[in-house]
Amino acid sequence: MPLMKSWVASANSADCPFPLNNLPYGVFSTEGEDPRCGVAIGEMVLDMAAAEEEGLIELADEPLFDLPFWNVLMEEGPAVWAALRARLTALLAEGTKERDRVEPLLVPLAEVTLHMPFMVSEYTDFYAGRHHATNVGTMFRGAENALPPNWLHLPIGYNGRASSVVVSGTPVRRPWGQLKSADHALPAFLPCRRFDLELEMGAIVGADSDGPITVAEADANIFGYVLLNDWSARDIQAWEYQPLGPFQAKATATSISPWIVTKAALEPFRTDTPPREFELLDHLKDAGPMLYDIDLAVTLAPEGKPATTIARTNYKEMYYSSAQQLAHHTTSGCPMNVGDLLGSGTISGAGKEERGSLLELSWGGKEPLTLDTGETRSFLQDGDTLTLTGAARGDGYTIGFGDCTGTVLPALENPYAR
Amino acid sequence: MPLMKSWVASANSADCPFPLNNLPYGVFSTEGEDPRCGVAIGEMVLDMAAAEEEGLIELADEPLFDLPFWNVLMEEGPAVWAALRARLTALLAEGTKERDRVEPLLVPLAEVTLHMPFMVSEYTDFYAGRHHATNVGTMFRGAENALPPNWLHLPIGYNGRASSVVVSGTPVRRPWGQLKSADHALPAFLPCRRFDLELEMGAIVGADSDGPITVAEADANIFGYVLLNDWSARDIQAWEYQPLGPFQAKATATSISPWIVTKAALEPFRTDTPPREFELLDHLKDAGPMLYDIDLAVTLAPEGKPATTIARTNYKEMYYSSAQQLAHHTTSGCPMNVGDLLGSGTISGAGKEERGSLLELSWGGKEPLTLDTGETRSFLQDGDTLTLTGAARGDGYTIGFGDCTGTVLPALENPYAR
């Protein structure tokens, strides 16, 4: 599919993250006004509350967009999702007769504040990238036992903490936690020393289910995708995670990019999962191409200094797709709801520079990275700003997600001082 | 504290679970009417929506009780919780002048349907009973490695699935899942064969927090308690839980008793946690007696047959209190919200008949239980009804929770048939 031209001129450049082909959904506010739904187009945001108020978009009896989240639109179901996309495409395409009515409803992106685009019902994080799982397993259990026996048969996941999900730009405070070093007999309560990122994609569930669903049904229930940084306290995790998995190590924050890129916008970029070492059981088999070709990158900028790109990889490196993860999530009868967020798991490629966490990039701290500034990093330092970017590259256009950034604040001096 | 007498005569018997000393909060409906808040007193329910409508209870400008959940009352904070309890006590105590206005608002318990008493924001399940952890650890890792190294230093927990929490009486369907038996090279997708219960208490968080809180603050933020059955698919769990913990094994259902017994009602039953093998770090130290003396029991009734009591124990067997669990939950800065539910972890005593799961009672299936009917059980069979009960016994009165029951339905024949 080629670039679809818009009368919003800034949307027509091949590098613009928000061409007419994209139409990602966010929540924005302007000074003194309440957060409401918006759609990015070029360097502008279409005020969806105003468009609905003006009668330009009529999809339901009740307002869908004068709200600080997209959950209500999601609840309307896939037919309405498609109708909305078609209507937005018509309103913003070159040659539309409605330009005069739409143009006053555009707000420059540079003038808005972006908020969480949806209410997170529950958050699940997976461990479904093979290179990541192999790297981590090799470090902790040796190369021969790198992948747990179940890994090639099901997407391993754990429930995360929805309350900790924040939008890009929110600073993240280094947590305290219980740590136990090998050379101490007893644990201590201290600020985290091995604070890390995890480069992931997040899939947003757009429809309820109440029992096992197939992979094809799961794919149909996904509304869209965001970039996701699952901030991880590796030293807290090492002490706490046996036998029931990560808990406080992953509860400080999970950052997401501010724009929901719809599944519809990503259709041209579908690609197959990698070859299977073991045939998957029927209920997890691919139902067509289930991943997407999305270039991903991570930059790290020390406080007041320029950023270094520390990793480049692609979403197609995943072993399990989000649809397969969602299908697995329902096998037990677990009810899934609109607004559930599924983290893909850390996305790493085969190469050394394609690793989506500092744990892997610095090989557990044994091989610190050298930044372009000359500084080194094993794990994150206070003041570091991390930025995740993602781009699917089409014929003369780019589908972008908006940056997913966060700056590490120093730990509280005394977490119990009031 | 002795029995407080009520003009509702059925509330004054020593065995009544709902005397004036209790006043537990639930959500009920009568035929053709919407679910709304109610308070149990003797064999009756006080219709709180009607009491508010009548002007008998005036605590806020907006309605607090004509709602199918208690979350809005919780959000009003501890001063309002106390004012409500004082007002209800005054209205229902022997000798009140307002009996004539209150009596028409009572509905017989026998005529109501009970619903989920609150909206579960997020659900966390702990592993904080020492006998349970020791039993399970002995079975899986041998007696010498029974407790993981971290166990005596922090309350181990994992995030559960809020969408799976159901009220007592809801049938629970045996799940399908990926199973891998030792004598098969590959896993298979099959109905669970080792379906189990876990006898727990659930603590309901009644106040938001946004950073680390002390144990005393955590205790103040707890609104009340319910009985909780964390249904567990042991065979699914065995295959999936390494390395990130239980996931689909615990996502089919978690049943809770229908009445929130407030922290205030349980005050006379506070008791100390057990002696500590290692001194806890300061942020987890007990801030006074943090557990409660609550007798607990589990009965199992095969379909159409009488029930057998399969376990008796007490909440005071826990090693970590709910307040300590909540404090630990906030150490990383994890935001906690009104409506968060914390499962205590399985409660087992030292004795063989004090074990809160079939996994322990049948020692992994090696020592099947014999029921009073003559049948045996290693794990649950289709049609089995489990009932959890709890009672704190005071001077001439009992604080009850209402039963927490659930019947096992057979697995779907084909989970993907529509």
Region A372-399: mean pLDDT is 98
Cβ contact (<8 Å) for B334 and A187? no
Inter-chain residue contact B243 with A156, CB threshold 8 Å: yes
Which residue of chain A is at minimal alpha-carbon distance from B137? A243
CA B324 to CA B209: how far, in whole Å?
15
Q: Which residue has the tokens 């009985």?
A: B227
Of B29 and A418, more confident? B29
Mean pLDDT, chain B, whole residue set: 97
Q: Are residues B303 and B156 in the same domain?
A: yes
CA distances from A222 to A81, A336, A338, A409 (A): 11, 11, 9, 34
Mean local confidence (pLDDT), A390-399: 97
CA dihedral B265, B268, B272, B274 (to 10 degrees): -80
A156 touching B (Cβ < 8 Å):
yes
Q: What is the pLDDT of residues B398-410, one digit of tens each?
A: 999 999 999 999 9
Exposure string (b/e) for B343-366, b if CB count within 10 Å is 16 or more?
bbbbbbbeeeebbbbbbbbbbbee
> Which residue of the set A132, A153, A328, A329 is catalytic?
A132
The confidence score (pLDDT) of residue B141 equals: 87
Is residue A3 situated within a structural domain?
no
From A127, A149, A213, residue closest to B244, measured CB to CB? A127
* pLDDT value of position A163: 98
B122 vs A: CB within 8 A? yes
Same domain, B128 and B111: no
Residue type, position B112, single letter? V
Q: pLDDT for A221-277, tens place per residue?
A: 999 999 999 999 999 999 999 999 999 999 999 999 999 999 999 999 999 999 999
Q: How far is B293 from chain A (nearest CA, A)?
A: 28
Chain B residue with the nearest C-alpha to that of A213? B416
Cβ contact, residue pair B154, A236, below 8 Å: no
The answer, for B154 touching chain A at a CB cutoff of 8 Å, is yes
Specify whether A172 is located in the same domain as A315.
yes
Closest C-alpha among B389, B369, B372 to residue B380? B369
Select from B121, B236, B332 the Cβ nearest to the Cβ of A332. B236
Confidence class for position A106, pLDDT limits 50, 70, 90: very high
On whether the CB atoms of residues B75 and B6 are closer than 8 A, the answer is no
Specify if A1 maps to a domain. no
Nearest CA in chain A to B332: A175
The predicted structure's pLDDT at residue B278:
96
Kindly state whether B171 is in contact with chain A, defined as any CB-CB distance less than 8 angstroms.
no
Nearest chain B residue (CA) to A128: B244
Interface residue A154 vs chain B (CB under 8 A): yes
- Min Cα distance A175 → chain B (Å) is 5
Q: What is the pLDDT of residues B28-46, one digit of tens each?
A: 999 999 999 999 999 999 9
Judge whether A4 lies within some domain. Answer: no
Which residues, in sequence order, are bridge partners of residue A270? A292
End residue of a domain, out of B115, B143, B174: B115
> Are B129 and B238 found together in one domain?
yes
- Contact residues, chain A, for B239 at CB < 8 Å: 150
Other C-beta atoms within 10 Å of A307: how many? 17
Flag if B176 and A332 touch (Cβ within 8 Å). Answer: yes
Is the pLDDT score of B300 beyond 90? yes
B127: nearest CB among A244, A248, A253:
A244
The residue count for chain A: 418
Query: What per-residue confidence (pLDDT) applies to B92?
Result: 98
% residues pLDDT > 90 (chain A): 98
DSSP character at residue A313: E
Query: Which of B122, B145, B153, B159 is the best residue to mutate to test the A interface, defined by the most A CB atoms within 10 Å of its own CB?
Result: B159
Q: Do B122 and A176 touch (CB under 8 A)?
A: no
Q: Is B132 a catalytic residue?
A: yes
Whether B91 and B70 map to the same domain: the answer is yes
Say whether the peptide bond before residue B117 is cis (omega within 30 degrees of 0): no
Residue B394 CB neighbours (<10 A)? 20
Is pLDDT of B296 > 90? yes
CATH number at residue B270: 3.90.850.10
Residue B157: list chain A partners with CB under 8 A.
Answer: 244, 247
SS3 content of chain B, % helix, strand, coil (to 5): 25, 30, 45
- Residues 229-248, chain B: which have Cβ within 8 Å of A? 233, 236, 239-248
Q: How many domains are there within chain A?
A: 2
Whether the pLDDT of residue A295 is over 80: the answer is yes
Among B51, B82, B115, identify where a domain stops. B115
| Closest CA–CA distance from residue B313 to any residue of chain A (Å) | 24
Residues B66-82: tens digit of each pLDDT: 999 999 999 999 999 99
Chain A contact present for B413, CB below 8 A: no
End-to-end CA separation in angstroms for chain A: 57
pLDDT grade for B120, boundaries at 50, 70 and 90: very high
Residue A331 has a pLDDT of: 98
Quick check: B329 and A251 CB within 8 A? yes
Q: Which residue of B has its CA nearest to A176?
A: B332
Residues of chain B found within 8 Å of residue A121, distances taken between Cβ atoms: 163
| pLDDT at residue A1 tops 90 | no
Residue B182's pLDDT is 87
Residues B186, B265, single domain; the answer is yes
Domain identity same for B348 and B225: yes
Q: Are residues A134 and A50 in the same domain?
A: no
Cβ-defined contact of A331 to B248 (cutoff 8 Å): yes
User: Which residue type sits at A320?
Assistant: Y
Cβ contacts of A281 on chain B, cutoff 8 Å: 178, 187-189
Q: Mean pLDDT of all residues in chain A?
A: 97
Distance from CA of B342 to the nearest CA of A (A): 13
Q: Could you tell me if B227 and B312 lie in one domain?
A: yes
- Contact list, B213 vs chain A (CB under 8 Å): 416
Of the three residues B86, B115, B144, the one that is the final residue of a domain is B115
CB pairs under 8 A between A and B: 192
Q: How many CA atoms lie within 13 A of A261 on its CB side?
A: 31
Flag whether pLDDT at A370 surpasses 90. Answer: yes
Q: What is the pLDDT of residue A407?
A: 98
Residue B216 has pLDDT above 80, yes or no: yes
Same domain, A111 and A201: no
A108 and A242 assigned to the same domain: no
Q: Of B294, B195, B287, whose CA–CA distance to B250 is shortest?
A: B195
Asked if the structure places residue B416 within a domain, the reply is no
pLDDT at position A140, please? 87
Which pLDDT band, with edges at 50, 70 and 90, does B89 fall under? Answer: very high
- CB contact under 8 Å between A154 and B336, yes or no, is no
Angle value at C-alpha A322, between A145 and A172, nearest 5 degrees: 80
Find where tokens 């039993």 sit.
B135
Residue A27 has pLDDT above 80, yes or no: yes
Residue B417 in domain: no
- pLDDT higher than 90, residue A182: no
Per-residue pLDDT tens over the stretch B93-110: 999 999 999 999 999 999
Q: Over range B323-346, report the average pLDDT.
A: 98
Residue B3 forms part of a structural domain: no
Question: Is residue A123 over pLDDT 90?
Answer: yes
In this structure, is residue B142 part of a structural domain?
Answer: yes
Q: Which residues of B fall within a CB distance of 8 Å from A180?
A: 149-150, 153
Would you call B271 an interface residue with chain A, using a CB distance cutoff of 8 Å? Answer: no
Chain-chain contact of B156 with A243 (C-beta, under 8 angstroms): yes
Q: Which among B150, B178, B244 has the least Cβ separation from residue A239?
A: B150
- Distance (Å) from the C-alpha of residue A185 to the closest C-alpha of chain B? 11
**Which residues of chain B make contact with A247, given a CB cutoff of 8 A?**
156-159
CATH number of the domain encompassing residue B25: 2.30.30.230
State residue A418's pLDDT score. Answer: 76
A334 vs B180, B251, B336: nearest CB = B251
Q: Which of B115, B131, B132, B283 is catalytic?
A: B132
B148–A236 C-beta distance less than 8 A: no
Question: A288 at the B interface (CB within 8 A)?
Answer: no
On whether any CB of chain A is under 8 Å from the CB of B134, the answer is no
Residue B314 is assigned to a structural domain of this protein: yes
> Residue A82's domain spans which residues?
9-115
Nearest CB to B252 within list A248, A282, A332: A332
For residue A358, the model assigns a pLDDT of 98
Contact B156 A416 (CB under 8 A): no
- Cα separation, B113 vs B35, in Å, equals 9
Residue positions counted in chain B? 418
CA distances from A194 to A25, A134, A378 (A): 34, 20, 8
Same domain, B330 and B401: yes
Whether cis (ω within 30° of 0) applies to the bond prior to B212 is: no
- Condensed to tens digits (0 to 9), the pLDDT of residues B171-210 reads 999 999 999 988 899 999 999 999 999 999 999 999 999 9
Find chain B residues with C-beta within 8 A of A188's C-beta. 281
